[in-house]
Amino acid sequence: MIAILLFASLIGIGIYTWQQTKIRQGLIDVDAAPRLQADYQVDINSADWTEFANLPGIGESTARSITRYREQNGVFVSIDELTKVHGIGPKKFESIKRYLLPIVPNTKTKNTNN
């Protein structure tokens, strides 16, 4: 009786191990998985440096340069003005352009009839 239980246990363990091996073969190797790009947009007149640092090809140094430029020169009038920031040339600008929200001109006008 003990031999039969031992034999049945070994068969059960073998079946369980075989099933687990089969399941693991279907898992994704994280290192080999294709990278997904987040599709979000940044408002260059209100974003802080951490938001800029999340853009492709923009590191902490360039991100801080963008916010420093904005603090020293005021808000950006157009997204093309971003190329005036040290570290952002035409190629880098083209690669991040799709992540930048368009700048809407301020439509508020001063009331001069007072």
- State the chain's mean pLDDT as an integer: 82
Q: Is the pLDDT of residue 27 over 70?
A: no
Q: Residue 32: beta bridge partners? A: none
For the record, the structure tokens of 22 come out as 């089969």
Question: Would you say residue 106 lies in a domain?
Answer: no
The CATH number covering residue 64 comes to: 1.10.150.310
* Banded model confidence at residue 19, pLDDT cuts 50, 70, 90: confident
Containing structural domain, residue 78: 49-99
The confidence score (pLDDT) of residue 51 equals 92
Q: What is the pLDDT of residues 83-113, one digit of tens each?
A: 999 999 999 999 999 999 988 776 444 444 4
What the block records as the tokens of 63 is 């991100």
**Predicted local confidence at residue 50, as pLDDT:** 92
pLDDT of 46 reads 93
**Do the domain assignments include residue 17?**
no
Q: Quote the CA–CA distance of 48 and 96 in Å, as a whole number.
A: 16
Domains identified in the chain, total number: 1
Please give the pLDDT value at position 11. 92
Does residue 74 lie in a domain region? yes
Residue 1 to residues 4, 5, 7, 8, 18: CA-CA distances in angstroms? Answer: 5, 6, 10, 11, 26
More confident residue, 63 or 25: 63
Cut 0.75: pTM above it: no
Does any domain span residue 12?
A: no
